[in-house]
Amino acid sequence: MSVFEAVIGLEVHAQLLTVSKIFCGCSTSFGLAPNTNTCPICLGLPGVLPVLNRKAVDFGIRLGLALGCVIQERNVFARKNYFYPDLPKGYQITQYDNPLCAGGHLDIEVKGVMKRIGIRRIHMEEDAGKNIHDDSRPRSYIDFNRAGVPLLEIVTEPDITTSEEAVTYLKELRLVLMYLGVSDGNMEEGSFRCDANVSVRTRGSGSMGTRTELKNMNSFRNVQRISLRRPSCGTPLPAGPVPCDPRRKATTTATSRIPTWSPWSSMLRGWTASARP
- Binding-site ranges for other proteins (CB under 8 A): 40, 43-52, 79, 81, 83, 85, 88-91, 138, 142, 255-261, 265, 268-274, 276-277
Q: Count the neighbouring beta carbons within 10 Å of the beta carbon of residue 229.
A: 14
User: Residue-wise over 247-271: b if at least 16 C-beta within 10 A, else e?
Assistant: ebeeeeeeeeeebeeeeeeeeeeee
Residue closer to other proteins (CB basis): 60 or 209: 60
Rg of the chain in Å (alpha carbons): 19
Minimum Å gap between C-beta 139 and other proteins is 9
**In degrees, to the nearest 5, what angle opens at C-alpha 10 toward C-alphas 152 and 57?**
15
Minimum Å gap between C-beta 69 and other proteins is 25
User: How big is the chain, counted in residues?
Assistant: 277
Minimum Å gap between C-beta 142 and other proteins is 7
Residue closer to other proteins (CB basis): 111 or 137: 137
Residue closer to other proteins (CB basis): 40 or 234: 40
Residues paired with 222 in a beta bridge: none
Residues paired with 143 in a beta bridge: 130
- Alpha-carbon torsion (144, 156, 207, 228), positive or negative: negative
Residue closer to other proteins (CB basis): 46 or 236: 46
Residue closer to other proteins (CB basis): 175 or 258: 258
DSSP letters for 220-259: HHHHHHHHHHGGGSSSSPPSSSPPPPTTSPPPPP--SSS-
Minimum Å gap between C-beta 274 and other proteins is 6
Residue 122 near residue 105 (C-beta atoms within 8 A):
no
Residue closer to other proteins (CB basis): 89 or 201: 89
Residue closer to other proteins (CB basis): 179 or 271: 271
Q: Count the neighbouring beta carbons within 10 Å of the beta carbon of residue 1.
A: 5
- As a whole number of angstroms, the distance between CA 27 and CA 86 comes to 18
Minimum Å gap between C-beta 155 and other proteins is 20
Minimum Å gap between C-beta 115 and other proteins is 35
Minimum Å gap between C-beta 46 and other proteins is 4
